[in-house]
């Protein structure tokens, strides 16, 4: 999640646990600790793929953060002026603030290495977009009420209850979407294909389903307000044949570990050379995927892995007209927007323009 949300969550937890003893200080300390794990973004590993895949790594590990919380809990009774707070209370305070950060991140698509340093793929159970104004607003309003009224603990507890209810609604909406798309996948023979269902930007009403099968991947937009309108799968090209040259590439292997099968490949002329680029199709939105990386160049009719990968900046952005169509599609207008409306023509599986 974004830093504002993580700070608000940490502040609300701090206020709920020690608001009665520390008052506003509990909110301040909680906000600072709530954003602490994201300081890993300042680290530069010297490679674009490494910078992306190492984020949410050691600093988001449940092992590391539990150890840090324990250390802080033992140090606080020695230095904090409030002597009536027990060691167990301090430990709950620090543990809940620090551990909820990666757990909330794991509810987004990006992927969080909860069990670092174990060599386990990042955890991702997406039920909320990386920025969700409604979730954040519930926490911010509660913090504002607590700071003004001085009823810190009560206000923060209510804020957490409302935000957790929102997450429960998101999980229910995703379950509804899964139930709607499952018969379609069975009909198309895709029931065993890798499937990713995640919310579209800034809401939990409109969901995006991505299915990967060989050289193709399929996109579908499904709203909880679609009624009896059946979901539709839009086919696009993944260029899976270009994946093979990357088997010997360290960056290619790392990216496959990070994104799984949800990668698209293309050859593009960059800096005077034909360059192989991989795009993480999980992140962003069809036509607006921000994470694309150079992995190899064509040398004497063969792909040679690059020693250092670079991130390719997207030349396209999401405009207000797109967001308005997104809102209309979320409201149940199935003709307002297709998942592939803004994907470049060369990525379509068919030469004709697909219509919703």
**Three-class DSSP category at 109:** coil
Instruction: Tell me the average pLDDT across 257-277.
Output: 93
Q: What is the pLDDT of residues 180-221, one digit of tens each?
A: 999 999 999 999 999 999 999 999 999 999 999 999 999 999
**Three-class DSSP category at 123:** strand
Lowest mean pLDDT segment, chosen from 136-140, 229-233, 289-293, 317-321: 317-321
Residue in this structure with the two tokens 């040398």, named with its chain if needed = 299
Q: What is the pLDDT of residues 119-129, one digit of tens each?
A: 999 999 999 99
In a domain, 353, yes or no: no
> Which range of residues forms the domain containing residue 117?
3-171
In a domain, 17, yes or no: yes
Q: Which residues pair with 123 in a beta bridge?
A: 112
Q: Give the DSSP per-residue string, 282-336.
A: TSS-TT----EEEEEEEETTEEEE-SS--BPPPS----HHHHHHHHHHHTT-TTS
Nearest CA among 127, 139, 69, 55 for reference residue 98 = 69
In a domain, 203, yes or no: no
pLDDT confidence of residue 354 = 35
Domain count for the chain, please give it. Answer: 1
Q: How far apart are the first and last CA of the chain?
A: 31
pLDDT confidence of residue 344 = 45
pLDDT confidence of residue 150 = 86
pLDDT at 336 over 80: no
pLDDT at 345 over 50: no
Lowest mean pLDDT segment, chosen from 17-31, 51-65, 104-118, 242-256: 242-256
Nearest CA among 165, 21, 29, 39 for reference residue 97 = 29
CA distance 166 to 4: 17
Instruction: Tell me the average pLDDT across 273-291.
Output: 90
In a domain, 274, yes or no: no
In a domain, 154, yes or no: yes
User: Higher confidence at residue 58 or residue 332?
Assistant: 58
195 alpha-carbon distance from chain centroid: 16
Q: Is the peptide bond before 117 cis (omega within 30 degrees of 0)?
A: yes
User: Higher confidence at residue 2 or residue 317?
Assistant: 2
Helix ranges (H only) for the chain are 3-22, 24-35, 48-54, 62-79, 87-105, 133-149, 152-187, 250-259, 320-330
350 burial class (0-12, 13-18, 19+ CB within 10 angstroms)? exposed
pLDDT at 320 over 90: no
CA distance 328 to 244: 40
Angle, helix 152-187 to helix 24-35, in steps of 10 degrees: 30
pLDDT confidence of residue 356 = 45
User: Higher confidence at residue 350 or residue 70?
Assistant: 70
The four Cα atoms 144, 148, 153, 155 give a dihedral, to 10 degrees, of -50
pLDDT confidence of residue 266 = 92
In a domain, 79, yes or no: yes
pLDDT confidence of residue 351 = 37
In a domain, 216, yes or no: no
pLDDT band with cut points at 50, 70 and 90 for residue 348: very low
Whole-number mean pLDDT of the chain?
A: 90
pLDDT at 347 over 60: no
pLDDT confidence of residue 223 = 95
* 185, two tokens: 């996948």
In a domain, 86, yes or no: yes
Q: Is residue 123 within 8 Å of residue 112, measured between CB atoms?
A: yes
């Amino acid at each position: 999640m974004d830093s504002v949300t993580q700070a608000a969550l940490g502040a609300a937890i701090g206020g709920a646990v020690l608001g009665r003893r520390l008052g506003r200080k509990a909110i301040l300390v909680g906000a600072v600790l709530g954003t602490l794990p994201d300081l890993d973004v300042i680290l530069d590993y010297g490679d674009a793929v490494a910078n992306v895949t190492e984020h949410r790594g050691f600093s988001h590990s449940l092992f590391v953060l539990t150890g840090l919380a324990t250390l802080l809990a033992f140090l606080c009774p020695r230095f904090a002026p409030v002597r009536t707070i027990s060691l167990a209370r301090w430990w709950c305070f620090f543990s809940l603030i620090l551990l909820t950060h990666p757990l909330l991140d794991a509810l987004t698509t990006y992927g969080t290495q909860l069990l670092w340093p174990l060599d386990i793929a990042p955890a991702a159970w997406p039920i909320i977009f990386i920025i969700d104004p409604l979730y954040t607003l519930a926490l911010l309003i509660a913090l504002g009420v607590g700071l003004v009224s001085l009823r810190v603990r009560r206000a923060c507890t209510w804020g957490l209850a409302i935000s957790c209810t929102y997450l429960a609604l998101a999980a229910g909406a995703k379950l509804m979407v899964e139930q709607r798309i499952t018969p379609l996948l069975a009909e198309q023979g895709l029931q065993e294909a890798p499937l990713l269902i995640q919310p579209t930007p800034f809401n939990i009403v409109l969901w995006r389903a991505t299915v990967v099968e060989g050289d193709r991947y399929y996109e579908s937009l499904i709203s909880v307000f679609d009624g009896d309108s059946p979901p539709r799968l839009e086919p696009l090209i993944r260029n899976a044949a270009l994946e093979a040259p990357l088997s010997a590439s360290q960056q290619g292997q790392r990216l496959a570990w990070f994104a799984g099968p949800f990668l698209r490949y293309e050859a593009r002329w960059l800096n005077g050379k034909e360059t192989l680029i991989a795009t993480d199709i999980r992140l962003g939105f069809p036509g607006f995927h921000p994470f694309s990386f150079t992995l190899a160049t064509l040398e004497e009719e063969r792909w040679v892995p690059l020693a250092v990968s670079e991130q390719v900046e997207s030349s396209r952005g999401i405009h207000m007209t797109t967001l308005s169509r997104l809102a209309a599609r979320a409201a149940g207008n199935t003709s307002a927007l297709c998942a592939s409306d803004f994907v470049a023509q060369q990525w379509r599986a068919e030469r004709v323009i697909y219509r919703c």
